[in-house]
Every structure is written in structure tokens, then in C-alpha cells.
Amino acid sequence: MKFEQVKHVGVVGGGIMGGGIAQVIAAAGYRVTIKDISDQIIEETRDGLIEGKWGVKRAVEKGKMGYDTAAQVIKLVDFTTDNIDLKNCDVIIEAVPEKLDLKQAVFKELDALVKPEAIFTSNTSGLVIQEIAEVVTDERKTRFLGMHFSNPVPVMSMCEVVTTPQASTDSIEAIVGIAKASKRAVSMVKDMPGTYGFILNRVFAAAAKEARKIVDDGLASPEDVDKAMITGRNWPAAFFGNRGGIGKEW
């Protein structure tokens, strides 16, 4: 599957991440099908996409998205509770909860159902991509990558594209192309067995550990650690609850 051939993206899991991912991908002109497990969750996802805090209606009101793009997103995103509706997707982005066995079960079923040339990606925060991909055929492993977005997706432009030794050049180029078309700032990172996290979460975890040690050693208060990072490094979010700007506004 080459970048130019990608027209239809399946997003599996319409929760916090899936809804936002669908929004930015549809804003780039791709048809998107969101699959979740119940009609009620689908309704909540649809509502969030349109009326939610990071939804298209508010994005238009805030001047972050044009009216035409918002209308395009609403038109291009459809919903299902049945995997069969994903069978002709060119790319799958999985965003179900962070459990290896659940992700593997999802991919095993999709591998048997979705066309062989489709590219599979996981939005895992840090599970090893090659371990998630253990359940798919060797052929699909050449089209299996990580695509790690940041929350809230319409606001935070990061996308880590996680590559494995098996991943083909075409699949990497296609996923990078879709991410860039969706206005993501792409960082490339290699999958690494024995670790948890790619760039963002590993660096943040290391810094958070050090922040916790400074507090535990009685050297500074949580407030002063947060204040130092926010005012000294412009970190919008620090460690102990003082979140600066993140998660509040566009």
C-alpha cells in the first residue's frame, strides 16, 4: 500500500484518542470509519467529535478550523460496531485500551478480515509494536507500525511513527504521509523490545522520576518543582498537578 493509494482509514476504539484521531484524519480529506463496541459509545464518540470540548463545532467557533473543513469531517466520518465494515480500509489505527492481550485479540481478528495490503498501526502509548504484531501473519508484519498521537489530538500535533525491522519502506512512507497530511509533527522512532514508551513517554517518565526524587528527598515542594519547570523551561505541563496551559484551551 502506497501513500497515494490510501483513501479510507479505520479507527478501532472511539474513546479519548480515537475520536480525536478520526477528526484530524478526516480533516485531511480521508474517509474514516470508527469502530467501537456499543451503540451508546458510538453516540458519545459522535457527540464528542461534533459538540465536544475538542470537537469541530468549538474548533470553528475558536477560529481553529474552517467551516468547510468541519462540514467535511462530519461528512467523512462514519461509525460502526462491526469489524466487517473495516474490511476495505487501507489503513487501520487501533486505539483500544492499553492492554497487550486486548490489542492482540483486535489485530488477530482484523488480520483475518481486512484486505492483505492494508497497513495496521497501533496508537499504544508504549507497548512494544513487535509484540502486539506477534499475532498477525509475517506478510502483515511488513505493514505494521506504531502511530502514537498525543491527547487532545486536535490540539497536540505530535505523532511518533514507530518502525520495526520488518516494516516496509512503502508502509512507513504511507503512514508518515498520512500523519503529515493530517498536520502532525512527525518524529520517527524505532521499536525497542524490553522498553515501555517511545520518545515522549520515556523522556517524560525519566524527568518525572527525578522530580519525584527531589520531592521525596525533601529538597523542594511539588509546587516549586512544577514552578521551576514551567517558568524555567516553558514546560506547559509539569509533574504534580500544575498543568500550566495543557488540557484547558486550544
Q: Which residues are catalytic?
A: 125, 148, 160, 201
Out of 9, 95, 136, 159, the only residue in the binding site for ligand NAD (CB under 6 A) is 95
State whether the Cα torsion 219-225-227-229 is positive or negative: positive
Task: Provide the CB-side half-sphere exposure for 67 (13 A, CA).
Answer: 0
Instruction: Answer yes or no whether residue 23 interacts with ligand NAD by CB under 6 A.
Output: no
Instruction: Answer yes or no whether residue 106 interacts with ligand NAD by CB under 6 A.
Output: yes
CB-CB neighbours of 185 under 10 Å: 12
Instruction: Answer yes or no whether residue 96 interacts with ligand NAD by CB under 6 A.
Output: yes
Instruction: Answer yes or no whether residue 17 interacts with ligand NAD by CB under 6 A.
Output: yes
**133-192: which residues touch ligand NAD (CB under 6 A)?**
149-151
In the complex with ligand NAD, the residue whose CB is nearer, 3 or 91, is 91
CA distance 246 to 191: 27
Min CB(207)–ligand NAD separation in Å: 17
Min CB(54)–ligand NAD separation in Å: 12
Chain position carrying cell 468547510: 68
In the complex with ligand NAD, the residue whose CB is nearer, 18 or 52, is 18
22 Cα distance to chain centroid:
9
Radius of gyration for the alpha carbons in the chain, expressed in angstroms and rounded: 19
**Could you give the string, one character per residue 33-52, with x where binding to ligand NAD holds by CB under 6 A and - elsewhere?**
--xxx---x-----------
Min CB(43)–ligand NAD separation in Å: 11
CA distance 32 to 2: 18
Closest CA to 147 of 116, 179, 193: 179
State whether the Cα torsion 166-169-174-180 is positive or negative: positive
Min CB(106)–ligand NAD separation in Å: 5
Interface with ligand NAD (CB under 6 A): 12-18, 35-37, 41, 95-98, 106, 123-125, 149-151
